[in-house]
A and B are shown apart, each in its own frame.
Chain A
Amino acid sequence: MPWINKATLERVKGVFGDDVKFKEADYAVSIEVTSSKLKELLTHLKDREGFVHFVDMTCIDFPSDPRRFQILYIIYNPAENERVIVKSWTEEGKIPTASDIWRGAKWAEREIYDMFGVEFIGHENLKRMFLWEGYEHFPLRKDFPLQGFPEEELPSLTEVMHGREDPPSHDFELLHTKVATLEDLERTEKARLKKKAQLVLNWGPLHPGTHGTIWFLFDLEGESVVQAEIILGQLHRGMEKIAENLYYFQFLPYTNRMDYISSICNELSYVTAVEKLLKIEVPEKARYIRTMFAELQRINSHLLWLGTGALDLGALTVFLYCFREREKIMDIIEGNAGYRLTTAFLRIGGVHYDLAEGTLDVVKAFVKDFPKRLKEYHTLLTRNRIWLRRTKGVGVITREEVHSYGLSGPVARGSGIPYDIRKLEPYAAYDEVDFDIPVGEVGDVYDRYLVRMEEMAQSVRIIEQCIKKLEKIPKSAPYINKDHPCVMPPRTDVFNALEDMVQTFRIVVHGEKAPPTEVFSSAENPRGELGFYILSTGESKPYRLRIRSGAFYNLSIFPKLIEGGTIADAIALLGSLDPVVGETDR
C-alpha cells in the first residue's frame, strides 16, 4: 500500500507550517507534530484529506528523551489507498485523546495506558486494558525488565494456596512480578462495569461461548443487554516485550501463538515485514508456496469459524462436517511443516522446507473436493429459516463504524468496504493470482457469514492457480534466498557447506543486523489486518515491535453493537466477529 503522496504533504505543510516535520522511509512515511497541534492535524487529515480509516495507534518509549513517550497514529485513506503515520510526543506523560476522532483509538489508548502509563486527556474510560486494576508497573516501558524485578520476590500462586515448601520445585518458583489474585479480579470486575440494570451476567473467563478466555460482563434487563464490557488479558503474554528482546528470526515461532488458528498467515505477515526491513528478495517458488499455504490456512480458519459459529447457534452437526475438512488441511500442513497448529513453516527469505513429495496432488484432490463440501454447508445453513432469523439484522455495522473503529477483514468487508490487504498492498504472490473480494451490503451477521463463505471459494481459486504455477517451477528451484546475509540457509546445506554453516552461526549468535529505519507492513489474516510496526535502531533486535491485531479492533465494537440486543444475539454477534484471544491479548 503506497504511503501518503508528496502533494498532500505539501498541503499539510501549508496549513501547519513549522509545527509539522516529515520523515520518509521506504515503508513508512510519518508526520511529526507538536502535541499542541496534534488534534488539529488529526482532524484535518480525517476531514480534509480523507484519512478516515483508523489502522493502529501505539507508543514508543525513549527513556533518554525528556519527553519520553512518542505516540504513533497509523491512519489510512481509502479513496487514495494511502497510509500515513502521525507522530507526537507526550508532555509529562500526557497527551490529548483521539478517541473522539476515531472510536478505535478508545481501546488502543487504553492499551497504551496499560502498557506505558501514558495518560490520555479527555478519554471517557481510561482503565487498564489487559492487566488488572491495581497493578503498579507498566510492562512495555524500557525500564521494566523482561524477567521482572529480581529483588522483588513474591510467592507463586501454588505457594500461596499450599504453603511454602522447601526446596522449591518448578511449581514453587519464586515470581518476580505479581500475578493477579482472585481479589484483584473481583476489583477489576467492579471497576469495569457499574451495574445499571437487573443482573450482571458473567461470561468467562472460561465459558463455552467466548471462543477462548475472554471475560464478558453483561448488564441484563430480562434477557436484553443494557450495557456490556469486555475484560481482556487472560492470555496476555507480552509478545511485544518479548520481541524487543529477541533476534528477528527468533520471534517467528511466537507469531504462531498469536492467532493460533491461522499460524501460517501470522508468519507470512511477520516475515513480510522483516523482509521489507532487511530488504530481502524472496524466490518465486517460496512466494507461491507461501500463498498456497496461507490460503489453505485461511480455509482452515474459516472452517473453524463456521463450525463453532454454527455450534453456538445450536447447529451441532455443521461443526463436525467442518472439522472433517479441516483435518485434511491439517494433514497437508503437517506433511510439509511437520506441525499441525503452530507450524513455524516460513522463514525470513523463504520457507523452511521445499514442498514435500506429493503435496501438490493432495492439495489438488482437496480443492477438487472442497467446493462440494462448501455447497453442503450452504445447504445446511444459508437458506435455513432459523439461521436467517438468528443472523439477519443482528449486529449491523455501518460503513462509518468500519472506518472509525478500524475494523478489517471479513468484518469490514461484510459492511461493504472492500478493504483487503491482499489487493491493496500485495505481498507473497497475491499480485500474480486472480481473485475477487466479496463484500456484503447490510453489514449484519448474515452478511459476514456470506462473505466468509465466499472467501473460502475464492481461496480455492487462488490455490488452484498456485498449484498450476508450482507444477511448472522445477524441483531444483530455490525455496529460500540464502544469498542474502540475513537469511539462514536450509539445514541440509548447513551440514554440507562451510560458508552456509558460518552464515548460520553468525545469525544464530549475532542476529540479523537491520538498518536503522522503521517499517509498517500488514497482511490480510482470516481475522483481519495483522500489521507489524518495526522500529529498528540498527541493532539485531527491534527497538520496538508493535503488533496491530485485527481481532483486537474487531472485538472493540462488540460492546456497542450488543447494547439493546439479547444474550442470544451476543453469541451470534461474537461468532461473526470471530476473535481469537491469542491475537487480541498477544
Chain B
Amino acid sequence: MGEFLVSLIVALIKIAVVLGVALGLGAYLTWFERKLAGHIQARLGPTVVGPFGLLQPLADGLKLMTKESIVPRGADMPVYYLAIMMAVAPALLLFSVIPFGPEFEIFGYSIKPIVADVNIAILIVFAMGSLAVYGTIFSGWASNSKYAFIGSLRKASVIIAYEVVLGFAVLGVILLAGTMSTVGIVEAQLEKGIWFIFYQPIAFVLYLFCMLAESGRVPFDIQEAEAELVTGYSVEYGGMKFGALPLAEWYLNVVALSAIAVVLFFGGWSGPQILGPFSPYFWFLVKTFGLVFFVIWLHWTLPRFQARDVTEVAWKIMLPLALLNIIATAVAVYITGG
C-alpha cells in the first residue's frame, strides 16, 4: 500500500512539473518567438511590458481571457468546444513520454524523470500526432465557415501524408536501438557512444520536415495561410479559445516534437558534466531549444508551399526516401548484428 501511495504521489508530482513546465514554456515561447522574429525582421519585438518585455505573455494571456467570447451563428456547439480540447490534449500528452534526464535516487526511491516510461512510447507519439488532427478537423467543421473548412481539410491531407513518412523515418532509429521506449533509445545511444543522427541523417531531415508539417509551421503552414484563408481553421475562434489553438499547435507541438527529435537523434540528455546533477537536464533543454530556434528561424524566413505541393513532396519524394533508408538500415543492422 505504502509503495503504491508513494508511486502515486511521485507520478502526480511528475505530472504537475511536466504540465507546469510545458504550459509555462508554451506561454514563454510566444515571447521568445516574438523577440526572435523582431530581431530577424530588423525591429525589437516586445519591450514595453516588463524588462525586455518579459511580462508580455502574461499581458497577452490576460487580454485573450478578457475578450468577449463570440461564437459564430450556426456553429456546432459541442464540437466547437471539443475541438479546442482535441487540439490541446494530444499536444500535452506528448510530453508524457519524454525522458528529461537519467534515473536518480531521492529518499531511497529511484525516480525516472519521465511521466510514463512505457515500452511503446514512440507509438504513443504517432497516436497523439494523429489524434491532433481531430482538433483541426473539428474546429474547421464546427465553426461553419468556408475558410476554416478549407484550412482544416488542407491540414488533414497534410497530416495523413506526413504521419506515414514520420513513421517510416523513425523506424530506422527503432531498428538501431532495438526498442520503442524513449528511455531505451537514449540509453542505446549512450551505450554506443554516438548520436543516431550520424547513423540516420536522412531520417533526421525527414523527421524535421514532418515536424514542421505536423505543427503547421512555415513552409507548411498551408492550413493557416493568412493571405488566402485568413488564418484558416482558427478564424472563428475568439479570446483564449483562439489563443489555445496556436498554443497547442505552434508551441506545445513544436516543443514536444523537438524534444522527441532530441531523444531519437541527439542522444537525449547526454552531454559533458558541467553542471553536476543538473547537466543532463541542461543539455536536454539546450538541444530542444536549438531545434525550436531552428523552426522559428525557418518560420520567419521562408515563403510557404502550395497545398498540393506539400502532399506531393511527402508522397513522391519523402516516402520513397524513408523506405530506402529503412531498407539500408535493416540490411546494415542485420550484417553488423545490431
The interface of chain A, by Cβ under 8 A from chain B, is 199, 201-203, 207-209, 223, 310-317, 320-321, 324, 380-381, 384, 386-387, 389-390, 566-571
Contact = CB atoms under 8 A, between A and B. Distances in A.
Interface residues of B, number: 29
B228 A571 contact: yes
Nearest to A220: B150
A169 B102 CA distance: 74
Given A314-B218, A321-B42, A566-B308, A386 B302 contact: yes
Given A208-B230, A313-B303, A568-B307, 11 more contacts: A202-B146, A209-B230, A314-B219, A314-B221, A315-B304, A316-B218, A317-B300, A317-B301, A320-B41, A320-B42, A568-B222
Contacts of A569: 306
Which of B300, B301, B303 counts the most A-chain CB atoms under 10 A from its CB?
A: B303
Contacts of B225: 314, 568
A381 B301 CA distance: 10
Given A207-B230, A208-B230, A314 B304 contact: yes
Given A207-B230, A389-B306, A390-B306, A223 B150 contact: yes
A571 B227 contact: yes
A304 to B, nearest CB: 15
Given A201-B146, A201-B150, A569-B306, A312 B227 contact: yes
Given A314-B219, A568-B225, A321 B307 contact: no
Nearest to A311: B227
Contacts of B305: 386, 389-390
Contacts of A390: 303-306
A324 B42 contact: yes
Contacts of A389: 305-306, 309
A310 B150 CA distance: 22
B41 A570 contact: no
Contacts of A386: 219, 302-305
A201 B225 CA distance: 15
18 contacts: A201-B146, A202-B146, A207-B230, A208-B226, A209-B230, A223-B308, A312-B227, A314-B219, A315-B303, A316-B37, A316-B300, A317-B301, A384-B302, A384-B303, A386-B219, A389-B305, A390-B304, A570-B228
Interface in B288-305: 299-305
Interface of B: 37, 40-43, 146-147, 150, 154, 218-219, 221-222, 225-228, 230, 299-309
Contact of B307 (A199, A201, A208, A223): A223
Which of B43, B230, B304 counts the most A-chain CB atoms under 10 A from its CB?
A: B304
Nearest to A380: B301
Nearest to B157: A223
Contacts of A208: 226-227, 230
Which of A310, A320, A384 counts the most B-chain CB atoms under 10 A from its CB?
A: A320
Contacts of A312: 227-228
Contacts of A199: 146
Given A315-B301, A316-B300, A317-B41, A566 B307 contact: yes
Contacts of B307: 223, 566, 568
Contacts of A567: 150, 228
A557 B307 CA distance: 24
A207 B37 CA distance: 24
Nearest to B231: A208
Which of A310, A313, A387 counts the most B-chain CB atoms under 10 A from its CB?
A: A313
A223 B228 CA distance: 11
B309 A317 contact: no
A381 B303 contact: yes
Q: Which 9 A-B pairs have the closest CB atoms?
A: A314-B304, A312-B227, A315-B303, A209-B227, A320-B41, A313-B303, A568-B306, A314-B303, A571-B227
B323 to A, nearest CB: 23
Contacts of A315: 301-304
Nearest to A574: B227
